[in-house]
Amino acid sequence: MSDAGRLVMGSAAFVALVAIEVLTPGWFFAAEVAASEEDLGHLAAHEDADTLCPRFDAPGHRKYALTAEQILWEVEPGNVIPVWAWNGSIPGPTLCARVGDTVEVKITNRLPTIISFHTHGLRFEPLSDGTFHTGSYAVPGGTYTYRFSVGEDSVGTWAYHDSVAEMDESPFVPGVSTPESGEGIERGLYGAFVVQAADEAEVDHEFVVAMSDMGPEVSRGGTYMLVNGRASPLTPTFHVMEGEKVRFRLINAGPNDPHDFIVRGHALTNAHTARVVDGASEDEGRRTSVVLGSLTFGDYTTVAGAPGEYEYLCLVGDHASMGMKGRFVVHPRIEN
């Protein structure tokens, strides 16, 4: 189909779906994803590592399918709002690859706006860029397939996200306006893309920490600072055992604010540069932490200290009080 034809179809679908959005309450067609306290990691003795991706022994062809849809999401206790999500969750599923892979991602669009898939860190041709000007997006009710290759420079943690969705006060109209690249992220369309090195370092646990901001036009209230799609006290609690090695895969999904991540009482080591940042309490005179601008990423490891409950948080301004904090719980070591 020609670009003109896609735009005409997109315009018609957009008008119809916007009418539904305006005239029909969100709860009528959106599935609700109830919140509960999310406990990640191991709570008992274990032999296998708690990792996000399987260990790929050789390069291969990885295929992933993502569906963007509206769901009802409890962003803080008692505040359930319509959001956009990949495969029913914020962040979307963690996608995995290793050096030498080829990757194919097919998206299905069940939203009243065009959407796309854009990922950082991987190699791609323009038609897999996920930007408006290349036309690499899915119209409402449509699909689009993206193809990538994975090089040595792709190792690490990256974000994938929408780059074209538009549903604000001045909605996108094909052929008339250029869509806003940040709205899909603010409404929930982002996730982690993990690329393994051939000699990936062993850890006992690894966790995605996806930091993002959500404004009042989405939250229907104030601005929230989120970890993995939720504000404290619904942010994840990470459980580990004394002496275990932990890898945090940090993402600032944005779309607006910088963040400054710290785990109280724990030093964090950059997995790629060996630079160490110290998570001491402020009253100990040190506040060195991991600073991440919008759409920047990092892999940091730490060794779990003495048993106890520690806080992880963002040190920027009032971001912690706006929801960007949680618990890092170290349990006594239990021998198998």
What kind and span of H or E run contains 266?
A: strand 266-270
Give the pLDDT confidence score for residue 274 in this predicted structure: 81
Q: β-strand 102-109 against 266-270: which pairing, if any?
A: unpaired
In which domain, by residue range, is 73 found? 1-33+54-199
> Judging by beta carbons within 10 Å of its beta carbon (0-12, 13-18, 19+), is residue 20 exposed, middle or buried?
exposed
End residue of a domain, out of 172, 199, 226: 199
Domain match, 180 and 235 both: no
Give the pLDDT confidence score for residue 276 in this predicted structure: 85
CA neighbor of 271 nearest in space, from 226, 206, 325: 206
Domain match, 180 and 41 both: no
Domain match, 244 and 297 both: yes
Domain match, 177 and 226 both: no
Give the pLDDT confidence score for residue 1 in this predicted structure: 44
End residue of a domain, out of 137, 169, 199: 199
End residue of a domain, out of 175, 199, 223: 199
CATH code at position 321: 2.60.40.420
Domain match, 148 and 24 both: yes
Domain match, 147 and 64 both: yes
Domain match, 5 and 125 both: yes
What kind and span of H or E run contains 15?
A: helix 3-23
Domain match, 183 and 219 both: no
Taking the chain (336 residues) in runs of 10, the rounded mean pLDDT of each run is: 45 43 41 68 82 92 98 95 97 97 98 95 95 93 98 96 78 64 92 93 96 93 95 97 96 94 93 80 58 94 96 96 97 81
Give the pLDDT confidence score for residue 48 in this predicted structure: 86
Domain match, 3 and 148 both: yes
- The distance in angstroms from the start CA to the end CA of the chain is 60
Give the pLDDT confidence score for residue 89 in this predicted structure: 97
Half-sphere exposure of 327 (CA within 13 A, CB side): 16
Domain match, 98 and 144 both: yes
Provide the number of structural domains found in the chain. 2
Domain match, 22 and 146 both: yes
**Which structure tokens are listed for 54?**
């399987």
Domain match, 215 and 194 both: no
Half-sphere exposure of 299 (CA within 13 A, CB side): 22
